[in-house]
Structure 1
Amino acid sequence: MGKKSPFSDIEAARYPPPPPPTFYMPPPTQWFSWLVPLFFLANIAMFVYSMYINDCPGYLNEDDCLWYQYLGKFSFQPFNENPLLGPSVRTLRVLGALERDLVVGENEVWRFITCMFLHAGVIHLLANMFSLLFIGVRLENEFGFLKIGVLYLLSGFGGSLLSILHMGDVKAPNTVSVGASGALFGLLGAMLSELLTNWTIYLNKCAALTSLLLIIGLNLAVGFIPHVDNSAHIGGFLSGFFLGFVILMRPQFGYVNNKYIPPGYDAKRKSKYKGYQYFFLVLSVITLLIGYAYGLATLYIGESNDVFSYLGNTES
């Protein structure tokens, strides 16, 4: 009789071990965008209110106001005063435009923020609001209202700070700065740093980087148009660029959170962030703190030194 095959009995059969389980992070949920549309409505409402307060016919001849017969009290200032179809500098100053003498001399620091919700005219407003919806809604859908709100306001503050420092170099009387451009360029800067710091999760990296750099270059080129304050654009962009490394950092590709691994499995997992992400985070925090502190010190302490030196010269 031949030997009995060890696999003839099903109870004695040997099966290959099952493959180790593979765990994946569920796709991130999309946030509902409500803060960016709220910023959009706030800017529109402030422009309508500024035109109501402006009341061009109340200060000028009705024939001088643009389209008075159709707009009445909301008619625009003459082209020679405001070519962007908007209110006067006087109105913008009353409502919170950024002006060096009022911020430094009168300590009206709230103008750093209020100027972001004012616009010089319809053309200025439409250009900024189109960019806000195009860029801001996507970012809020991905990262949520809290991160984008902080990014928007801090970038706008950085743009206002560099803009008011630039006013001291220009030495032009009655110079004010308004607009959401600094905050919008901050969103663009954050998109660039987000692409760099979250490099591992992008598939077509070169195409994403090229298209983003093209958009940034076109927007910066607008700053060279006369009467456009490019310093606010640059300040907002740099602030947003470094803030993106801090606020918009995401886990690297392949990372799995512990709560998505069933109990009893000892799965080998990747670290949540890469070393270069931590490096850029620390470097960006230091750069932002130094940049904001240096700008404020230059604005206030430098201004005080100028006053003291002037008083010393008059007393002598």
Structure 2
Amino acid sequence: MNGEVWRLITGPLLHSSILHLLSNALFLMLVGPLTWYLYSYKNIGVLILGSSLGALVSTLLGTYTNNSPFDTYVGLSPGIFALYGLVSLSGILNRKLLPAGIALHLGFIAVISIVTASIYINSAANGSHWAGLLFGMAVGRSATTKIQED
């Protein structure tokens, strides 16, 4: 808020604990290869934009709801959830993209993970997780529409 825009860019490169780093790595390993296969290098843009959007949402929510800046945004979680949103909604809208049930399964993993983190982790950036997932779904909707038009 005080000209510290760099926090939006550096936050995704940091993690709050080893458990946070490992859980981000695990979730990225689950969806990353599938996303790379379906969308090649473009998924990196979704990951980075989803993380940046999540950082912005967390910062704004913390600033305007708690009256103090939310300055502890760390990790790639919103970007990873953006990948889950991208793949799951694309697979639901285009049944030729993924085997039956895989798209729903990935969406279920994302939603359960967000809800579980909000229940068990006091410092979870819930707004950024949901923002990432919704951003990925919007990109998935757009990508699927473009594929169907071609």
TM-score for the superposition, normalised by structure 1: 0.42
Structure 1 residues 4-23: aligned runs within 5 Å: none
Is this contact kept in 1: 2:89–2:103, CA < 8 A?
A: no
Structure 2 CA distance for aligned equivalents of residues 141 and 204 of structure 1: 14
Root-mean-square deviation (CA, aligned residues, Å) is 2.3
Structure 1 CA distance for aligned equivalents of residues 38 and 116 of structure 2: 28
Q: Give the alignment partner of residue 240 of structure 1, picking from 118, 133, 136.
A: 136
Structure 2 CA distance for aligned equivalents of residues 250 and 137 of structure 1: 22
* 1:197 paired residue number: 93
Structure 2 CA distance for aligned equivalents of residues 138 and 208 of structure 1: 11
The yes-or-no answer on 1:219 pairing with 2:116 is no
Alpha-carbon shift at residue 193 of structure 1 (Å): 2.2
Matched letter for residue 157 of structure 1? S
SS at match of 2:105: helix
Alpha-carbon shift at residue 246 of structure 1 (Å): 2.8
Alpha-carbon shift at residue 251 of structure 1 (Å): 3.8
Alpha-carbon shift at residue 210 of structure 1 (Å): 3.4
Alpha-carbon shift at residue 223 of structure 1 (Å): 2.7
Structure 1 residues 100-119: aligned runs within 5 Å: 104-106=1-3, 108-119=4-15
The yes-or-no answer on 1:152 pairing with 2:47 is yes
Matched letter for residue 217 of structure 1? V
Alpha-carbon shift at residue 209 of structure 1 (Å): 4.1
Structure 2 CA distance for aligned equivalents of residues 184 and 215 of structure 1: 12
What do residues 199-250 of structure 1 show as CA deviations (whole Å, max 9, x unaligned)? 3x15754x23432232122211233121111111011111111112234657
Structure 1's 214 and 110: CA in aligned 2 closer, same or farther, altered over 3 A? Answer: same
Task: Give the fraction of aligned pairs with identical amino acids, expressed as a percent.
Answer: 27
Structure 1's 176 and 215: CA in aligned 2 closer, same or farther, altered over 3 A? Answer: same
Structure 1 CA distance for aligned equivalents of residues 130 and 50 of structure 2: 10
Structure 2 CA distance for aligned equivalents of residues 217 and 179 of structure 1: 18
Structure 2 CA distance for aligned equivalents of residues 246 and 173 of structure 1: 33
Is this contact kept in 2: 1:186–1:240, CA < 8 A?
A: yes
Could you tell me which runs of 5 or more consecutive residues in structure 2 were left unpaired when the two chains were aligned.
none
Structure 1 CA distance for aligned equivalents of residues 70 and 53 of structure 2: 22
The yes-or-no answer on 1:142 pairing with 2:38 is yes
- How many residues align structurally? 147
* 1:127 paired residue number: 23
Higher relative contact order (CA 8 A, sep 6+): 2
Is this contact kept in 2: 1:151–1:247, CA < 8 A?
A: no
Structure 1's 242 and 177: CA in aligned 2 closer, same or farther, altered over 3 A? Answer: same
Matched letter for residue 44 of structure 2? G
Structure 2 CA distance for aligned equivalents of residues 105 and 172 of structure 1: 12
Structure 1's 121 and 194: CA in aligned 2 closer, same or farther, altered over 3 A? Answer: same
Matched letter for residue 167 of structure 1? G
Structure 1 CA distance for aligned equivalents of residues 47 and 70 of structure 2: 27
Alpha-carbon shift at residue 141 of structure 1 (Å): 2.0
Matched letter for residue 150 of structure 1? G
Could you tell me which runs of 5 or more consecutive residues in structure 1 were left unpaired when the two chains were aligned.
1-103, 253-271, 274-316
Structure 1's 248 and 140: CA in aligned 2 closer, same or farther, altered over 3 A? Answer: farther
